[in-house]
Structure 1
Amino acid sequence: MTNKNVFYSAVGPALTPYGIDIDKAELAKLDPVSTPANIQYAWPHPSKRYLYVVSSSGGPAAGGVSSSTHVANVFAIDPATGALKPHGDAVKLATRPIHASVDHSGRYLLIAYNNPSSLSVHRINADGTIGDKVEQPNKLDTGIYAHQIRVTPDNKQVILVTRGNNAPTDNPVDPGSIKVFTFKDGVLANLAAVAPGDGMHFGPRHLDFHPKKPWVFVSIESQNQLMVYKLDDKTGLSRDPLFVKNTLADPNSKLRQAAGAIHVSPDGHFVYIANRAFWTTDFEGKKVFAGGENSVAVFAINQTSGEPTLIQNADGHGNYLRTFNIDPSGKLLVAAPLWAMAVRDGSNITTVPAGLVLYRVGQDGKLTFARKYDIDATEQKQQFWAGMVTLA
């Protein structure tokens, strides 16, 4: 490696590190480690010495089979290479974890669960292992279908993004909301809930914070929108969004779409959001891609107002970009298509593989495709999470 970053890709229960050469836009594969079940999400400790990984035998890859394995693991990160080594005992969880993060002090691991929608807070011991669960004395409003849990930059509040179920084919239809809690010594208390209208046309998935300004950028999954909120000391977020933008190259498309992961660039000048299309149709007795946009939408951020302006929809070179990340220098973006997809090509059917898609990031924020590394990921063994870590 020519820098101090490593990229991790989770396919099923296997977690593989890759060394990164930013200048050449290349990855070098290292030895993988395994978890007891399919990896759902991972988050590094602020010290960059540990990686917290939540996994489950439930979720989309379970194929409808009942699941009972839900765990949180810790891996020590080799500061020279990024290689991983199990660290401490796994912690059993009650239900499927969908997201996890660590507070800025490095003292608490926060986990979100989608069904039933809930959360938990666990102490992190001085040696980086997972300690006791923090009992919550207050009844918490955790909404419907939690999808992400983040701590605000001042470490005083926790935001739980609850997606609800309001896309065209969801049944039942449920409201989405962004729940905000006060956060002190691992204990949460209800502070506010943000849900435009009745929440029935509001399906938030993920959010990210501007590194310098009090702006929060939220991907709205089922409406393919980017919303911008202002951080507020009293309510967590402003009651109404400052701006609402469509993420698609063709906002009038009738094909079903879903906005996905979102990341603000390290310098705060751009915000990137994944557009996903992964539904199928029948062709000659086989399921093939029904069409739609798989891309990374690039928005330039006005540094005075926070208003984002769409400047590019970069081809995703794969199906269903579930996760992606940007290196701390802001020069390289790596996206991770979830699975291989059969695609109609005239009268033939071809397969577009999953993989790791590398883009160079220009000074104007726009993406230029550099290369793709194909990965063996299927509907049964999905590339469910991928992310980048700067080494200690």
Structure 2
Amino acid sequence: MRITKVFALLSGVIVALTSVNATTGDATQQQVQTTDESVVMYVGAYTRDEGWVNGTAKGINAFSFDPRKGILTHLCETDVGINPTFIRGTKVRKGQKQKQFLYAVNEISDPSQDVPGTTTGYVVAIEVAGKGQLKVLNRLETHGPGPTHISVSPSEGFVAASMYGGGGVILYPVAKNGSLAPSSDAHFYTEGSKVKGPQEAAHLHSTTWVPGSDIVFAADLGNDQIVQYKLDAKTKKFDNTTYPIVKRPPGSGPRHMDIHPSGKIAYVVDELSNTIGVFPLNAKDTSLPKSAIQNISTLPADFNGTSSSADIHVSADGKFVYSSNRGHNSIAIFKVKSQKDGTLEWVGSESTRGELPRSFLLYKEFLIVANQNTDNIEVFRRNAADGTLTHTGNSAKSNTPVCLYIPPN
């Protein structure tokens, strides 16, 4: 492995350039020391041609983000397996020498080693070994194909993976060293609602934990439903009998969810109908009511083209909700009219300056979006008063980006 280092002193900023051949767990690096306020943003991506997408990344890319100027600077790229499309992680563990861990899916449908004759994807546990540098701890099968999403429980003791291809949710306990223990529970579903093309079977697309509770919502795009689980930490199992399944409108295709900062309202974005459902959570136990109190379109009224919704996030102040539209290639902006029930009012939309905005994140006064099909990440500044977005002029190249993630402190 050939390593070349160049050091230069520019305006008081030390820049270190390091080139490393990418192998599993290794990184191709460009390390840049910026400001004390800068944070690391990780980008999940496709790494091979899957037919519907031609992935050209080599792994997870890491960028330094300077929130003073809204500038992204590439740090390194780490090979953690094929198609590490979705990433989530833990806070820094103070008692473990400031260690922090990430968890990613390998979104593939390859032959299983555990169960010959079946197909599987993988989940991978990763240690943050330096600024943007990653070290693979272990990798486990999902016992079903096509995992598309991963989430970490509020206690950080469990990880849940959702399988779009396999139609299931699988639970993994987290070991003390941050690695994943063998799966402790799994729930699979079969028949789909068959209302629209992608609903020939169950397609579990995401899991969303209610902060401070043991409840997790699983969005099943294929069945137009949200399954509610209750985690039993002692048995390491999901109970799906305590709370009822919540149905969404036929053909809606629920995809991703987010929880209002108050912890009292849930939002779901529906991929197929391009709508957002608003759910005030039950005060007694923070479970979902049987139906949404509002369903609102994510598209402008005068748009007649083809589009599908992808991601959704609530601003930290709880005043605005944003969602991404693939096809219209925009971020939809909504004002939260009522902090009590969470109902929304359309504000407008902003072009993502690229194609297929698969994912975005909110960080301080910024919104950063990944355009999967045009290999670009764009940075917008968010107006705290009216929620509107202004492009900063800052962008970054990143091959086939899917998920953007800045770990919590």
Residue 407 of structure 2 corresponds to residue 389 of structure 1: yes
Q: CA deviation at 1:245?
A: 1.3
Distance of 2:107 and 2:271 partners within structure 1 = 23
Match of 2:382 in 1: 361
Q: CA deviation at 1:99?
A: 0.6
**Cα 1:130–1:370 shift into 2, 3 Å:** same
Match of 2:373 in 1: 339
Distance of 1:237 and 1:260 partners within structure 2 = 21
2:204 alignment partner, one of 146, 163, 172? 146
Distance of 2:91 and 2:213 partners within structure 1 = 13
* TM-score, structure 1 normalization: 0.79
* TM-score, structure 2 normalization: 0.76
Distance of 1:58 and 1:376 partners within structure 2 = 24
1:320 alignment partner, one of 356, 381, 388? 356
Residue 316 of structure 2 corresponds to residue 266 of structure 1: yes
Residue 174 of structure 2 corresponds to residue 124 of structure 1: yes
1:306 alignment partner, one of 339, 342, 346? 342
1:249-288 to 2 correspondence within 5 Å? Answer: 249=300, 251-277=301-327
CA contact (8 A) 1:96 1:115 kept: yes
Once the two structures are superposed, residues 332-356 of structure 1 have per-residue CA deviations (whole angstroms, 9 ceiling, x without a partner) of 111000113xxxxxxxxxxxxx201
Match of 1:133 in 2: 183
**Cα 1:244–1:252 shift into 2, 3 Å:** same
Match of 1:373 in 2: 395
Structure 1 residue runs without a partner (length 5+): 60-65, 165-174, 278-292, 341-353
SS of the residue corresponding to residue 133 of structure 1 reads coil
Match of 2:137 in 1: 88
Q: CA deviation at 1:84?
A: 2.6
Match of 2:63 in 1: 18
Q: CA deviation at 1:376?
A: 5.6
Match of 2:20 in 1: none
1:41-52 to 2 correspondence within 5 Å? Answer: 41-47=86-92, 49-52=100-103
1:220-235 to 2 correspondence within 5 Å? Answer: 220-232=270-282, 233=284
Q: Residue type matched to 1:9 in 2?
A: V
Q: Residue type matched to 1:386 in 2?
A: L
Residue 178 of structure 2 corresponds to residue 160 of structure 1: no
Residue 298 of structure 2 corresponds to residue 247 of structure 1: yes
CA contact (8 A) 1:224 1:246 kept: yes
Distance of 1:305 and 1:68 partners within structure 2 = 43
Distance of 1:362 and 1:110 partners within structure 2 = 34
CA contact (8 A) 2:91 2:407 kept: no
Match of 1:350 in 2: none
Distance of 1:209 and 1:6 partners within structure 2 = 24
Q: CA deviation at 1:296?
A: 0.6
Q: CA deviation at 1:312?
A: 2.3
CA contact (8 A) 2:265 2:279 kept: yes
SS of the residue corresponding to residue 130 of structure 1 reads coil
Higher strand residue share: 1
**Cα 1:104–1:189 shift into 2, 3 Å:** same
RMSD of aligned Cα (Å): 2.3
Structure 2 residue runs without a partner (length 5+): 1-33, 48-58, 94-99, 111-116, 193-201
SS of the residue corresponding to residue 314 of structure 1 reads strand
CA contact (8 A) 2:264 2:286 kept: no
Distance of 1:71 and 1:115 partners within structure 2 = 12
Distance of 1:140 and 1:276 partners within structure 2 = 28
Aligned residues: 334
Q: CA deviation at 1:45?
A: 1.5
Residue 213 of structure 2 corresponds to residue 195 of structure 1: no
Distance of 1:246 and 1:70 partners within structure 2 = 33
Q: Residue type matched to 1:103 in 2?
A: S
Q: Residue type matched to 1:93 in 2?
A: T
Moved more, 232-241 or 8-17: 232-241
Distance of 2:137 and 2:122 partners within structure 1 = 13
Q: Residue type matched to 1:385 in 2?
A: C
Distance of 2:163 and 2:395 partners within structure 1 = 31
CA contact (8 A) 2:137 2:179 kept: yes
Match of 1:286 in 2: none
**Cα 1:234–1:4 shift into 2, 3 Å:** same
Name the % identity.
Answer: 21
SS of the residue corresponding to residue 238 of structure 1 reads coil
Distance of 1:223 and 1:123 partners within structure 2 = 35
Distance of 1:158 and 1:180 partners within structure 2 = 6
Moved more, 14-23 or 66-75: 66-75
Q: CA deviation at 1:146?
A: 0.6
**Cα 1:24–1:255 shift into 2, 3 Å:** same
Distance of 2:120 and 2:341 partners within structure 1 = 46
Q: CA deviation at 1:38?
A: 0.9
Distance of 1:213 and 1:109 partners within structure 2 = 20
Distance of 1:252 and 1:373 partners within structure 2 = 29
**Cα 1:339–1:235 shift into 2, 3 Å:** same
Distance of 1:201 and 1:90 partners within structure 2 = 35
